[in-house]
Copies of this chain bind each other. A is one copy, B any other.
Amino acid sequence: MQLNTLPIGIFDSGVGGLTVYRALHERLPNERFIYLGDTARVPYGTKSMTTVERYAIENSLFLASRGIKMLVVACNTASALALPAIRKAVGFDVAGVIGPGGRKAVEITKDKQKARIGVIATEATVASNAYFEAIRRASETAEICQGACPLFVPLAEENWVNEPETASIAARYLAEIKTFAPDALVLGCTHYPILKDVIQQTVGANVKLVDSGEATADEVLHLLRDKGLENPNAVESSRKLCDDLDHFYVTDAADRFARVAERFLGVTPSKLEAIEVYGADRLTKI
């Protein structure tokens, strides 16, 4: 089998990465995807670097064992803490979401030299300073204001998108960033786009929100071209989100994932399996 006919692997700590899958699917209609949601161990954003690295490597080795040509780390926390460890563990190209998100934020500002960028993310991602460094690589003089929003993950998982408590919590978390008055605000966690409306209302309509997932999909498209890894075989024109060309794996209950996937994507995956991920030496079906 040729390398470029293999699917692209994607992993996330849970369901949030489905927004990255959708963005990739839209831009790359000829590609197949294998998605792994580590729903048995979600969340990652409150855990230590040692643990996040271990989980990320186990997930990557699982996807490697299914045969993939490239890996997209959809989870911001894993991208921020574990990219070097993942790259050391696997032999294919690995794309994270932090670099693309940071660059995109600088690109859309009017004046790159005087860019003012806000970043909201999990505690672990903020503490890692990964977005800070990615933004500074794109603009040495950018001013940056970061904030952790730990309750946004459970609020998004509960689908509390219109509740007044969510607006009130957002106002509290985003107060410093609002005062900072950024040009762009990076949504540095795959869960946050679910709360896009309330975040936009809180910071004001003139702040451009950056969805790292979409920025990453753009970069993966270029990476595939540069490496000559695009699938040469056109797939049928009937290609749809979550059809049987894409394979979904979860580490906890598949039925719960299917319900949330339907809410996120409007459709349930055709191929969805629950598995255990313990590193490639201990892969077993449950």
A245-280 CB mask vs B (1 if < 8 Å, else 0) is 000000111001000000000000000001010100
**In the bound complex, what is the Cα–Cα distance between A251 and B164 (angstroms)?**
36
* B40 lies within 8 A of A47 (CB): yes
Q: Which residues of B contact A40 (CB under 8 A)?
A: 41, 47, 51
Nearest-CB distance from A123 to chain B (Å)?
Answer: 10
How far is A253 from B50 in the complex, measured between Cα atoms in Å? 8
Which B residues lie within 8 Å of A129 (CB)? none
Task: Check A236 for interface membership: any CB of B closer than 8 A.
Answer: no
1/0 per residue, CB under 8 A from B, across A25-64: the answer is 0000000000000011100001110110010000000000
Q: Is A158 on the interface with B (CB-CB < 8 A)?
A: yes
Contacts A47-B252, A252-B51, A253-B50 known; A169 to B158 CB distance under 8 Å?
Answer: no
Chain A contacts with B in 142-158, Cβ cutoff 8 A: 150-151, 153-155, 157-158
Inter-subunit contact B256/A48 (CB<8 Å): yes
Number of copies: 2
Closest Cβ neighbor of A40 among chain B residues:
B51
CB distance from A22 to the nearest CB of B (A): 23
Question: Which residues of B have CB within 8 Å of A46?
Answer: 157
* Shortest distance from the beta carbon of A231 to any chain B beta carbon, whole Å: 35
Expressed in whole angstroms, the Cα–Cα distance for A251 and B46 within the complex equals 13
Q: Which residues of A contact B (CB under 8 A)?
A: 39-41, 46-48, 50-51, 54, 150-151, 153-155, 157-158, 160, 164-165, 168-169, 172, 251-253, 256, 274, 276, 278, 286
Beyond A50-B252, A50-B274, A153-B154, 18 additional pairs, beta carbon < 8 A: A40-B41, A40-B47, A46-B157, A48-B252, A48-B253, A48-B256, A51-B251, A54-B276, A54-B286, A150-B154, A150-B158, A151-B154, A151-B155, A154-B154, A165-B168, A165-B172, A168-B168, A278-B278
